[in-house]
Amino acid sequence: MKGILLLAFKLLVNDKAKFSALIVGITFAVFLMVQMTSMFAGVLSRSSATVLNIGASMWVMDPSVQTIANSVGMPDYVLDYVRSVPGVRFAVPLYYGAALLKLPSGLYQTATVLGLDDTTLFGRPALIKGRIEDIYAENSFIAVHDPEFPKLENPTLGTRFELNDHRAIITGIAKVASPGLFGVPTLYTTYERALQYVPNPRFTISYILVEPKSSASILAIKKAVARLGYRAMTADEFIQMISDFYKYQTGIGINIFVMTIMSFIVGLSISGQTFYTFILENMEKFGALKAIGATNRQLVAMILFQSGFTSLTGYGLGVGLCSLIIGIAKLRLPDYASKITYFNLSLAFLMALVIAAISSYVGVRRVLRIEPFDIFRG
């Protein structure tokens, strides 16, 4: 069988024009599919950036919450109640809100403000400049050095600005694991200062961050919180809920899905048509092989090998090209949200296989139907 596959390989690659067209078709399709799904994965990943960056095991919130950004304030007694639930090691409040900054240049800029529990500073980011204890200093804020950082006019330690008409000073520059989705800079401060600086409704706790004593306690904590009319979720569940919101309750998911399907159809059209033409052009050769004594199994193996080889090569080139483009884009465009995941790669691989299967199915049907007698008849 090795020899017959080598024959198939030579017939394929020696027809440089057709082979190039096949490879370009599949590469292009895979590139588009990976690009689309990676962009979506990047958006989804960024939509949960705060959950990832804070790093709490469990989050307690109002049941109306759909994404991290639309928090609904909870009364203080909820925090007390959660702390009293058996299985809770500790629970701390988190403030999440938006503020308007007046920058040193006089321009205004919206920012996300995260207020960390004053006592524990649980969820604090890693600092690259400054000391974490300086967060307790007067008017102190920590700026996150992410792609939105330049929108704060690249502040340094000691930079002053106005935040909702209050004086604010940068006392630390932090890094985070994942930049946010919404294109606004992030500032960390203490919970109490956040309440002072940002106007709030009656209830002020955006989220309660919970650390259970063990994973076995999680279910009991969820049930206890639910009895009070609130919702407790693990970080993974919260991320999934946010992802589901963007996937199913915004236009982003369906648009990406449509674009991915279109990429697939384009790839299938180009590759399927080219492969079919390739088979048609070689039909008499396949007939000659059949007359000489090649079995249907050998001919099918040749076609499957040709389509499989083309698809896998196109897949590799498509993924490589996409990685290159995303890499370059990320170097040039800090806000570029794109993330190649194993799921993206698997999906594109599956679709490349489907393209190969459909293309070869059409070819196999034709080749199995050809009668060697047709070769004699010319």
Partner 1 sequence: MTAAIKATGVVKSFGEGAATVTALKSVNFEAAFGEMPYIVGPSGSGKTTLLSVLSGILRPNAGSVVVDGVDIWKLDVDSLASFRLHKIGFVFQDYHLFPRLTTAENAAIPLIIKGRDWESSVREAANYLDIVGLKERAELPPVKLSGGEQQRVAIARAIAGRPDILIMDEPTASLDGETGRNILGFVKRNILNERRCIVVVTHDSRIYEYASRIIIMEDGRLKGETPVPPANEK
What residue ranges bind partner 1 (CB under 8 A)?
Answer: 1-4, 6-7, 10-11, 14-15, 284-285, 287-298, 371-373, 375-378
Q: Closest CB to partner 1 among 54 and 367?
A: 367
Name the strand (E) or helix (H) holding 309.
helix 296-332
Q: Closest CB to partner 1 among 308 and 372?
A: 372
Which distant-in-sequence residues (6+ apart) come within 8 Å of 292 by Cβ?
Answer: none
CB of 378 to partner 1, least distance (A): 6
Cβ-contact 200, 103 below 8 angstroms = no
CB of 376 to partner 1, least distance (A): 5
CB of 178 to partner 1, least distance (A): 51
Q: Closest CB to partner 1 among 226 and 368?
A: 368
d(CA 361, CA 19): 18
Q: How far is CA 333 from CA 146, 148, 325, in A?
A: 12, 11, 11
CB of 342 to partner 1, least distance (A): 37
Q: Closest CB to partner 1 among 17 and 216?
A: 17
Cα 219 from chain centroid?
28
The torsion angle over the Cα atoms of residues 263, 264, 269 and 273, rounded to 10 degrees, is: 130
Which distant-in-sequence residues (6+ apart) come within 8 Å of 240 by Cβ?
Answer: none
Cβ-contact 287, 372 below 8 angstroms = yes
Q: Closest CB to partner 1 among 2 and 369?
A: 2
Q: Which two tokens stand for residue 370?
A: 């050809």
CB of 8 to partner 1, least distance (A): 10
Which distant-in-sequence residues (6+ apart) come within 8 Å of 256 by Cβ?
Answer: 36, 37, 39, 40
CB of 374 to partner 1, least distance (A): 10
CB of 26 to partner 1, least distance (A): 21
Q: Closest CB to partner 1 among 264 and 305?
A: 305
245: three-class secondary structure by DSSP: helix
Q: Closest CB to partner 1 among 124 and 290?
A: 290
